[in-house]
């Protein structure tokens, strides 16, 4: 017999794994130092700092982080839109 709620356990497991992955990525860091520009980026794609010729430019980091957040929100809206059309 088909259990429509049977997939909830799998969904909860996937959500838990995604949360663990996000937490792990937040602890990782990538530093690129190239042509006088140094970018420090967390594994979850959040810019921690940008230095240009030794001067910290967090205004740039803040602006890029805001732009990335907007694209993530856009992607989430599109996913919801596409999912609702398939029902």
- Per-residue pLDDT of 8-40, as tens digits, reads 667 788 889 988 988 898 999 999 999 999 999
- CA distances, 23 to each of 20, 31, 48 (Å): 5, 19, 16
Does this model's pTM top 0.85? no
Q: What is the DSSP string of 18-78?
A: HHHHHHHHHH-EEEEEETTEEEEEETTS-EEEEEETTEE-HHHHHHHHHHHHHHHHHHHHH
Q: Could you tell me which of 47, 43, 45 has the C-alpha nearest to residue 58? A: 47
Strands 29-34 and 47-52: unpaired
Residue 78 tokens read as 């599109």
- Per-residue pLDDT of 37-84, as tens digits, reads 999 999 989 999 999 999 999 999 999 999 999 999 999 999 888 888
């Amino acid at each position: 017999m088909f259990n429509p709620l049977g997939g909830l356990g799998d969904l909860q497991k996937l959500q838990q794994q995604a949360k663990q992955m996000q937490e792990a990525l937040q602890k990782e860091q990538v530093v690129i130092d190239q042509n006088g520009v140094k970018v420090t980026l967390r594994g979850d794609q959040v810019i921690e700092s940008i230095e240009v010729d030794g001067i910290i430019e967090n205004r740039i980091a803040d602006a890029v982080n805001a732009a990335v957040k907007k694209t993530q929100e856009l992607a989430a809206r599109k996913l919801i839109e596409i999912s609702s059309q398939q029902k």
